[in-house]
Each structure stands twice: as structure tokens, then as C-alpha cells.
Amino acid sequence: MFPFLTYSLYNTNDSGVSHLHVGGEKVELSDRQNKIIEIVKENGPITGEKIAEQLSLSRATLRPDLAILTMAGYLDARPRVGYFYTGKTGTELLTKKVKQYKVKEFQSVPVVVKENQSVYDAISAMFLGDVGTLFVVDEEGYLTGVLSRKDLLRASIGNQELNAVPVHIIMTRMPNITVCYANDLLIEAGKKLIDKQIDGLPVVKELKDGYQVIGRITKTNITKAFVELILDEQV
């Protein structure tokens, strides 16, 4: 019996050799699996029996390979029709998966301060919340600004009165705040971080009078998604 393996597609490298992740280990497609792909490319749709015949193997011997290739997305199987080549390279399959990642699946809890709180309070909130970006809200809870680590450092240099300076003096303020939405693609949020050269974005809900902050997307979230993509045990 074929042991149940969970794995994910790794990538297709320059030499065209494809890899799978099996139980977290990078595994190259076997010669037999590559041969199966070639047979199906040329002859598909083709039944499992016919593939087995061409390889002079039994259908049962081939079953695990066909299961792997189908689950990894190289081949597709239709009942009574057989296997056919999906025409997708490893890179295309990875791209497809990335395009399914939504901001809401990766967002973290936002840490917010009110605009009249002091720079000192904001620094404390940054440490206590273990974050690098704070969002600033007004009395009604609407987004009015963003505070980065360097904003707070800049305000602190040579300033002994950090308790006396409210954050609205030093924050980057609306309407110059780059935001994203829970249903956005994670890749779009990542692109905003790069284009604007910032570390984090508030995930917002648009209400009548402004933005309500419901989450936070940072470079860390994007890194997590990237690592998950490669180590994920399901395609």
C-alpha cells in the first residue's frame, strides 16, 4: 500500500528537473515520474493501463507515481478518459498558489495608539506590542496616521520631553497612508510595501467617515507566506 504522503510542488529549475516536497524534504521527480510525464505529454489523454504497458510495469506499481503527479498538478485525470498533461510548469503552479493567498489569511493584529498620546506612550506600545509599525487613530477609532520605528527614533533624538509631544505631530498622516483590504491578494500588499519602501500596511475596512483598522500586514507576514509556500505540505 502506498503510504499517504503530503507534499508540495517545489519548483522547476533551469535544467527542467522538477522537485516535490515530501514531508518537508526536497525530492526530485524520479526518472519514472519524468518518463510518465513524457508519455502523457505525447499520448494524452491516456489511461493508466496504457502508461503501464509502455513502461512494462503493472498498473499497481504505477499508482503512487500517478497519484503524486496528479496531486502536484503536472497531470490531470478524468474518469473514463485518462490522464492528460496540464501543460503547467512548476513555476506556473507556484504562481497559481500565490495568487490564492489573501491578506486576511496572513494579517496580524494591529497595534494602535490615539493621536493625542505621547511619543513616550507610542514607544512603550511598540515594545509591548512587539511591532515595528503603529497605527494612529482619532477618538472615533478612524485611521489618521502611521508611526514607524524611525519616526519615533527621530522624534527622540535630543528630545527630553517625549511625554509632552503628541504623536500626531510626528506621524505620517492621512491621506498619505497606504492601506490594504482583507480581501486583497497578499501579493498586491507585498508590492505596495516594496513600491512605497515601507515595512507595514494597515488592513482597513472602509466606513462612511474613514478607515477602521482591522489588521496589519508587514514584511514578516509576507516572509511567512513565502516560507509556507515552499514548505506547505499540500499543493
In angstroms, rounded to a whole number, what is the distance separating the alpha carbons of residues 168 and 176? 14
Which helix (DSSP H) or strand (DSSP E) does residue 215 occupy? strand 210-218
* Residues forming the site for ligand ADP (CB under 6 A): 133, 146, 148-151, 172, 176-178, 197-201
Q: How far is the CB of 58 from ligand ADP (least distance, A)?
A: 59
CA separation for the pair 46, 65 (Å, rounded): 15
Q: How far is the CB of 177 from ligand ADP (least distance, A)?
A: 4
Minimum CB distance to ligand ADP smaller for 166 or for 200: 200
Whether the CB-CB separation of 63 and 5 falls below 8 Å is answered with no
User: Are 179 and 211 a contacting pair, CB within 8 Å?
Assistant: yes
Smallest gap from residue 171 Cβ to ligand ADP (A): 6
Give the residue with the Cβ less far from ligand ADP, 29 or 136: 136
Cβ neighbors of 74 (< 8 A, separation 6 or more) are: 18, 37, 85, 86, 88
CB of 124 vs ligand ADP, minimal distance in Å: 17
Cβ proximity to ligand ADP: between 51 and 119 the closer is 119
Q: Which is nearer to ligand ADP, 133 or 221 (CB)?
A: 133
